[in-house]
């Protein structure tokens, strides 16, 4: 080794570092920026690798900015849309109240510099494009990735854009009539530019779709502006804004392999961005051109239902004479108390989080855990109508008109949450307006036509975390191999009601096919007619690809070969693309023939299997196509419950039956068989104090063929009381009404069991023996002796200690005072509605007014526990709490969790209000509620 003096060594290091930086910059400019990833991938399609991963949960994946102009003046240039519901499109959309804010100019950010012929233009448009000309200025600074020097991802390859289908093009404005989409001259675009992610691969550029009017179910349109990421070549092919892969092949190319995911994802972004988000580029056309279309003659329609409409029994009790149960002073005062609580929460949301998904009520900050489409506002629309808050409703309606449901800041759309909250809220509010507020139906169609793409899979089972962008949609995804059951079984009410309103069979067909698969799977389940928490709906029997295995030989022998280009690396995401296997040198189609879209090719083929939440490369698998639904995960116990992950699927059996007037008998069998199985396997009598008239819903888990009881009761499972009572009335099964009553009474008991009179999120108890009487509860016996159930759970050995107020408490797991009957608990309360929901149902169905008294006591306790007060003691909001067992007044503020999910105003306060409202208001004989408490009008 040689020695360099310290001073000279520093200068030497500095010079080398500078040289390295200069070399790196030159290398980037000449070899990376214009070639993106260094590979010639023009012959393959994109694979985004984000389906079901929820990767956007990482903060660095969401480029937030408070200086984004979402108030573009595109509405001044878009021609009027001939839409059958409303003549004029709504105002330009914006997200999170960014209207009027401008994107700051940054001289270090490159501008879009390529103008080429878009593949989406009409021929007349292309003649207007000057190949290779430079677009120096498009609006206020072209959109680019926010990373250093990233190229603009803009509609810069097209001076103007036309329609997908040939239409009559105006020579001056390029407006298209008779085509599918509206052409837009990019010279007219003055705003709407957006920065992308720090990697420069999400920039949306001049996105003419920032102002989209309503989307008709028959005539769809989009901006018609193509993407061209940093290319100087005229007419270059579109690039995937997520991976940078050139989408050079036609979308109908069946040679591309499907991609399968586990089906998992993030319904809520735990670190959801609080400010404005960059909206990703909207689809060019909605509904999308499908890769696996259902022929018109094969669509399942309500018009061709297996049975005629039935005259279903009345649901509400005859004891509830109009006005008799709601006009007395006590009931009126209770109703007004609920309304006041709603107004407090609504005003707080309006002041601090207007246009955002949720309010953080303690810190008064906004949050977007879902899609940034004002979830709280849309979810609470029908509550505003029911409570008669006309001014607030009208203001919210104007906000809804500005929401663009065709795009969001997230790369994946959580299908279940979006359907029950957003789509359900829009449809229900339209029903409550008696069809007067047309914008609600228009927006529902706009959203549904976006979501319907999630069903475009080989077996028409939905992708529950839907990659909605055009660059992602070009990949042929299969549904998930480990999909939460509730997320596929709880879509039927919303799409069915929309089909009834619009006459579009595609909506009903999508969910009816799920029901068919559930119905076929039910008797084969490990507990027949009960469903595990996750199911495999991929349509594949997968095994890891091993060259030389039996199936590997089939793909490798002389009659079967893989294309040399079947494995192609992409960008830093680590994902891969695989082509389908070729049999006798011929790439196999996905389907046997066009006459029956569901007759799948049974020959094995390769797929890329992505694991949920993983950044690793997808596994190379061999898919043997199968028919139907299967059990999900094989690496953990199969669990059966009526709590979270399955709950609302059971709930929808009878509700869908009611909505379609009994024309589909499958729902009756699904419900009645489920009740029998639940009685045998899930419902039990708890070994608790004062258990005379209560039942709980537990769970069963199976691992390696052995079934074990889990005596956990959850707040979510409290919905079942109302479900059984409703099913009992619809099918004239009084024993089900009684079953619902006892389960609901069990939830009331759970509320009364804690110090604050509010039920925890979940708790575990011991069950009474199946044979013989249940012993009287004894706390000492609970702690000393073995329990009655097979899992032998012992009570905690924690000592009972003084509570400093003359009493005692049992501080198990650091909770203040666990009820003596519990073995363990999750003590939080996030303002859930399910217990009040079932109390409401039992009141309306039985006419027993004691349910009003029980519900009132529960509601008072909820308000006291969750209230937020200012320095003067005024209540300013309500928040979830960490520990329902802590009634120490000095701990109250610390106990608040600073969350207020949208269901607080959509469900909890709505059910509480209706419990004291005239029974004719949203009568159960006229409406059916979805799982988010959105009432859909029943057709007679």
For the residues of 729-783, what is the DSSP string, one character each?
A: HHTT-HHHHHHHHHHHHHHHHHHHTSTTS---SEEE-EEPPSSSPPPPP-HHHHH
More confident: 824 or 627: 824
Those residues whose C-beta lies under 8 Å from the C-beta of residue 687, and which sit 6 or more positions away, are: 765, 766, 767, 768, 774, 775, 777, 782, 787, 788, 821
Confidence of residue 705 (pLDDT cuts 50, 70, 90): confident
How much of the chain, in percent, has pLDDT values that exceed 90?
54
DSSP code of 829?
B
Question: Which is more confidently placed, 265 or 117?
Answer: 265
Is the separation of the CB atoms in 758 and 751 below 8 Å?
yes
Taking every pair of Cα atoms in the chain, the longest distance, rounded to a whole number of angstroms, is 101
The arithmetic mean of pLDDT across residues 367-376, rounded, is 96
Cα separation of 493 and 496, whole Å? 5
Give the contacts of 620 (CB within 8 A, at least 6 positions apart): 544, 545, 567, 576, 578, 606, 608, 609
Burial of 349 (0-12, 13-18, 19+ CB in 10 A): buried
Pairing of strands 476-477, 258-261: parallel
- E strand intervals along 412-531: 412-414, 465-467, 476-477, 483-484
Section 132-146 average pLDDT? 33
pLDDT recorded at residue 547: 73
| 442 burial level (CB within 10 Å; 0-12, 13-18, 19+) | buried
Question: Torsions phi, psi of 859, nearest 5?
Answer: -70, -40
Which pairing describes strands 766-767 and 867-869: parallel, antiparallel, or unpaired? unpaired
pLDDT, mean of residues 112-129: 33
Rama region for 173: left / alpha / beta (φ>0; ψ in -120 to 50; rest) = alpha
Give the pLDDT band (50/70/90) at residue 419.
Answer: very high
- Contact (Cβ atoms closer than 8 angstroms) between residue 582 and residue 563: yes
One DSSP character per residue, 325-378 reads: TT-SHHHHHHHHHHHHHHHHHHHHHHHHHTTSSEEETTTTEEE-SS-SS-HHHH
CA gap 627, 600 in Å, rounded:
9
Q: What is the mean pLDDT of residues 706-735?
A: 97
CB 206 within 8 A of CB 143: yes
Spatial CA neighbour of 411 closest among 645, 152, 197: 197
Task: Answer whether residue 884 shows pLDDT above 80.
Answer: yes
Residue of 786, 926, 90, 773 lying closest to 428 (CA atoms): 926
49 DSSP assignment: -
What SS3 class is residue 896?
A: strand
Q: Which residue has the higher pLDDT, 170 or 325?
A: 325
Min mean pLDDT across 174-188, 608-622, 632-646, 675-689 is at 174-188
- Whether residue 491 contacts residue 497, with contact meaning beta carbons closer than 8 Å, is answered with no
Beta bridge partners of 160: 185
845 sits in the region (left: phi over 0; alpha: psi -120 to 50; else beta) called alpha
Q: What is the pLDDT of residue 266?
A: 86
Please report, for residues 59, 110, 122, 658, the alpha-carbon distance to residue 70 in angstroms, rounded to integers and kept in the order given.
22, 21, 28, 42
Report the chain's terminal Cα–Cα distance, integer Å. 93
What dihedral do alpha carbons 810, 812, 816, 821 form, nearest 10°?
Answer: -60
Tell me, what's the pLDDT at 589? Answer: 35
Task: Report whether pLDDT(211) > 60.
Answer: no
* Average pLDDT of the segment spanning 721-739: 98
Q: Please enumerate in sequence order all residues whose Cβ is within 8 A of that of 238, keeping only pairs 6 or more positions apart, or say none.
A: 119, 226, 227, 228, 246, 247, 471
3-state secondary structure of 639: strand
d(CA 405, CA 428): 17
* Cα–Cα distance, 528 to 646 (Å, whole number): 15
Band of the pLDDT at 771, cuts 50, 70, 90? Answer: confident
**Nearest alpha carbon to residue 384 among 355, 354, 328, 425:** 425
Provide the phi-psi class of 23: left if phi over 0, else alpha when psi is between -120 and 50, else beta: alpha
If pLDDT is split at 50, 70 and 90, which confidence band does 166 have?
very low
Q: Which residues of 680-711 are buried (b: 16+ CB within 10 A; e: fewer)?
A: ebbbbbbbbeebeebbbbbbbbbeeeeeebbb
Amino acid 626: pLDDT: 84
Q: What is the mean pLDDT of residues 893-915?
A: 98
Confidence of residue 76 (pLDDT cuts 50, 70, 90): very low
Residue 158 has pLDDT above 90, yes or no: no
pLDDT reported for residue 56: 28
In terms of Cβ atoms closer than 10 Å to its own Cβ (0-12, 13-18, 19+), residue 352 is middle
How far from 412 is each of 49, 280, 476, 547, 926, CA to CA, in Å? Answer: 11, 11, 15, 34, 36
How far is the C-alpha of 9 from the C-alpha of 26, rounded, in Å? 26
Whole-model pTM: value is 0.72
- Nearest Cα residue to 382 out of 398, 394, 393: 393
Q: Is 107 left (phi over 0), alpha (psi -120 to 50) or beta?
A: alpha
Give the residue with greater pLDDT, 33 vs 864: 864
Residues belonging to the active site: 417, 647, 761, 834
Confidence grade of residue 617 (pLDDT, cut at 50, 70, 90): low
Peptide bond into 14 cis (omega under 30): no
Give 42's strand partners: none
**3-state SS, residue 476:** strand
Instruction: Judge contact between 385 and 409, C-beta under 8 A.
Output: no
Query: Is 571 known as a binding-site position?
Result: no
Among 239, 228, 179, 236, smallest CA distance to 206 is for: 228
């Amino acid at each position: 080794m040689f020695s360099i003096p310290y001073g000279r060594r520093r200068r030497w290091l500095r010079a080398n570092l500078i040289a390295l930086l200069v070399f790196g910059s030159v290398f980037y400019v000449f070899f990376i920026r214009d070639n993106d990833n260094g590979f010639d991938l023009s012959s393959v399609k994109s694979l985004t690798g984000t389906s079901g991963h929820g990767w956007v949960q990482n903060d660095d994946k969401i480029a937030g900015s408070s200086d984004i102009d979402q108030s573009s003046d595109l509405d001044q240039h878009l021609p009027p849309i001939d839409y059958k519901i409303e003549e004029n499109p709504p105002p330009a959309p914006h997200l999170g109240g960014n209207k009027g804010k401008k994107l700051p100019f940054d001289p270090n950010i490159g501008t879009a510099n390529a103008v080429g012929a878009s593949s989406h233009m009409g021929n007349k448009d292309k003649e207007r494009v000057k190949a290779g000309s430079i677009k120096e200025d498009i609006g206020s600074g072209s959109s680019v990735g926010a990373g250093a020097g990233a190229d603009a991802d803009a509609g810069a390859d097209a001076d103007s854009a036309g329609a997908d289908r040939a239409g009559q093009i105006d020579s001056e404005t390029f407006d298209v009539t008779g085509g599918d989409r509206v052409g837009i001259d990019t010279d007219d675009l003055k705003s709407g530019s957006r920065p992308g992610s720090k990697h420069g691969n999400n920039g949306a550029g001049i996105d003419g779709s920032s102002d989209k009017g309503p989307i008709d179910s028959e005539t769809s349109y989009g901006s018609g502006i193509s993407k061209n990421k940093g290319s100087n070549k005229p007419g270059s092919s579109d690039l995937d804004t997520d991976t940078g892969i050139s989408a050079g092949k036609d979308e109908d190319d069946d040679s591309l392999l499907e991609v399968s995911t586990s089906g998992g994802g993030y319904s809520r972004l735990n670190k959801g961005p609080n400010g404005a988000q960059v909206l990703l580029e909207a689809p060019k056309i909605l509904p999308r051109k499908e890769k696996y279309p259902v022929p018109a003659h094969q669509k399942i329609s309500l018009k061709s239902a297996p049975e005629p409409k039935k005259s279903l029994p009345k649901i509400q009790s005859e004891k509830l004479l109009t006005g008799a149960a709601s006009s007395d002073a006590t009931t009126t005062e209770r109703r007004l108390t609920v309304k006041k609580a709603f107004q407090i929460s609504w005003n707080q949301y309006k002041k601090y989080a207007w246009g955002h998904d949720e309010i953080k009520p303690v810190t008064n900050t906004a949050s977007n855990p879902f899609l940034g489409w004002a979830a709280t506002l849309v979810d609470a629309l029908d509550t505003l109508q029911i409570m008669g808050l006309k001014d607030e409703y009208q203001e919210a309606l104007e906000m809804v008109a500005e929401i663009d449901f065709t795009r969001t800041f997230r790369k994946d759309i959580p299908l279940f949450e979006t359907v029950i909250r957003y789509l359900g809220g829009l449809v229900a509010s339209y029903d409550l307006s008696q069809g007067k507020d047309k914008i609600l139906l228009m927006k529902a169609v706009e959203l549904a036509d976006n979501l319907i793409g999630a069903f475009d899979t080989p077996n028409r089972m939905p992708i529950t975390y839907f990659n909605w962008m055009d660059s992602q949609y070009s990949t042929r995804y299969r549904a998930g191999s480990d999909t939460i059951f509730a997320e596929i079984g709880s879509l039927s009410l919303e799409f069915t009601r929309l089909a009834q309103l619009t006459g579009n069979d595609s909506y009903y067909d999508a969910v009816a096919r799920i029901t068919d698969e559930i119905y076929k799977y039910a008797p084969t389940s490990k507990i027949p007619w009960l469903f595990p928490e996750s199911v495999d709906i991929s349509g594949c029997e997968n095994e890891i690809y091993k060259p030389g295995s039996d199936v590997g030989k089939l793909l490798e022998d002389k009659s079967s070969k893989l294309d040399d280009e079947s494995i192609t690396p992409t960008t830093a995401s680590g994902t891969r693309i695989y082509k389908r296997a070729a049999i006798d040198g011929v790439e196999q189609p996905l389907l046997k023939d066009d006459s029956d879209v569901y007759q799948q090719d049974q020959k094995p083929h390769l797929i890329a299997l992505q694991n949920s939440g993983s950044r690793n490369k997808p596994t190379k698998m061999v898919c043997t196509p199968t028919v139907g639904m299967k059990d999900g995960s094989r690496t953990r116990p199969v669990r059966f419950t009526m709590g979270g992950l399955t709950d609302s699927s059971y709930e929808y059996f009878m509700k869908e039956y009611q909505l379609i007037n009994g024309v589909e008998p499958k729902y009756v069998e699904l419900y009645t068989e489920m009740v029998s199985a639940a009685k045998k396997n899930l419902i039990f009598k708890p070994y608790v104090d004062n258990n005379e008239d209560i039942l709980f819903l537990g769970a069963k888990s199976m691992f390696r063929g052995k079934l074990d009881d889990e005596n956990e009761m959850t707040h979510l499972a409290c919905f079942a009381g109302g479900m059984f009572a409703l099913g009992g009335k619809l099918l004239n099964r009084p024993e089900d009404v009684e079953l619902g009553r006892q389960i609901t009474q069990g939830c009331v008991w759970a509320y009364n069991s804690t110090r604050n009179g509010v039920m925890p999120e979940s708790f575990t108890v011991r069950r009474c023996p199946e044979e013989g009487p249940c012993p009287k509860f004894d706390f000492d016996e609970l702690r000393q002796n073995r329990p009655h159930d097979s899992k032998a759970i012992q009570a905690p050995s924690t000592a009972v200690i003084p509570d400093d107020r003359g009493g005692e408490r049992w501080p198990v797991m650091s909770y203040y005072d666990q009820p003596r009957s519990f073995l363990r608990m999750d003590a939080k309360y996030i303002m859930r509605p399910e217990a009040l929901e079932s109390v409401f149902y039992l009141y309306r169905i039985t006419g027993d007014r004691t349910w009003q008294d029980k519900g009132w006591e529960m509601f008072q306790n909820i308000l006291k526990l969750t209230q937020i007060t200012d320095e003067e003691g005024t209540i300013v909001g309500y928040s979830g709490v960490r520990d329902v067992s802590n009634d120490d007044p000095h701990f109250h503020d610390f106990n608040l969790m600073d969350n207020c999910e949208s269901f607080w105003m959509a469900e909890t306060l709505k059910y509480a209000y209706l419990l004291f409202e005239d029974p004719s208001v949203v009568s159960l004989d006229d409406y059916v509620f979805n799982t988010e408490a959105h009432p859909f009008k029943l057709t007679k």
